[in-house]
Every structure is written in structure tokens, then in C-alpha cells.
Amino acid sequence: KSVYHGDMVMAGGDISRSETQVSLAEADAQSYLNAVYLGRDKQIRDVTSRIDHDAPDCQSFQRIHGVLDNQAKAVFQGKVKVERYAQKTDGNQMSRTLILSRQAEANTKPELEIYADDVTCSHGATIGELDDDQLFYLM
């Protein structure tokens, strides 16, 4: 059984880009991709991923989390592709970004491209800020 674990932290530098491509080519293969990015001032963060389910009974999990402040910008583009013969696939993708400044900007594009009919796949994205009540209870 093949298992891929990818953990990434993006924190320094003016521009940071990461591109991950995983092909689950054998039955029962698994992929776990976790990323955290932090952006401030005018930093730019770019996270791109593509997970191809090319065999049956495979699983993939993507968790992308970010925090942006000042005029920082971030982009997440993630794709999960399930071929027609990759039945019993389980593919999950989630992107969450916390915005700390009105000038910060986040764009996210989670994609599912599914050609099989016996799959469990999900994707989601949230981009938001803390409101005053939440900050009050954190203090």
C-alpha cells in the first residue's frame, strides 16, 4: 500500500509558490497534503495542487490553512480528478483562510473532476475575518 504525506509551511519571502502533483496509480493508495501559509505586508502566497485518482479504492485528503494580514495576497488552486475506473474513491479537499486586514486578499478555487460514479468526494473553502465578539471572547 502506497502512502504519501506532504506537510508544508509558507512563511518567509516576498513571493512563495508551491505546486504538488500526486498520482494515486495503485489500488488502496493514500495521499495526505497539509499546508499552512502566513502572509503579511505585501507578501504573496500561491499553493497549487493536483491529485489524480487513477486506481480504485484510493483516498486523498487536502487541508490548506492560511492567515493574511496587511496587503498580503494568497491563491489556492486545488484539483481532485477521479478517472472512470477509479471506483470507491474517497477524495476530500478543504481550504480555510483567515483575513486580518481589509486590504488582504485571498482567492481559492477547489475543483472536483469526477468520471466515476461510486465515489465519496467533497471540497470546500472559507475566507473570513474575526468579528469583534469573537475577539472579545479570545481575550
Question: What local confidence, expressed as pLDDT, does residue 130 receive?
Answer: 80
Global pTM exceeds 0.75: yes
Q: Under 8 Å CB-to-CB from 118, ≥6 apart: which residues?
A: 87, 88
Lowest mean pLDDT among 46-55, 63-72, 97-106, 129-138: 129-138
Q: What are the structural domain ranges in the chain?
A: 3-138
Q: What percent of the chain has pLDDT over 90?
A: 91
10-68 per-position pLDDT tens digit:
998 999 999 999 999 999 999 999 999 999 999 999 999 999 999 999 999 999 999 99
Region 63-79 average pLDDT: 97
- 3-class SS shares of the chain: helix, strand, coil, % to 5: 5, 65, 30
Say yes or no to pLDDT of 136 above 80.
Answer: no
* Mean pLDDT within 95-114: 96
pLDDT of residue 79: 97
List of residues 6+ apart from 135 with CB closer than 8 A: none
What is the rounded distance in angstroms from the CA atom of residue 90 to the CA atom of residue 35?
20
The pLDDT assigned to 137 comes to 73
What value does the mean pLDDT take over residues 60-88? Answer: 97
Reply yes or no on whether the pLDDT at 134 is more than 90.
no
- What is the average pLDDT score of the chain? 95
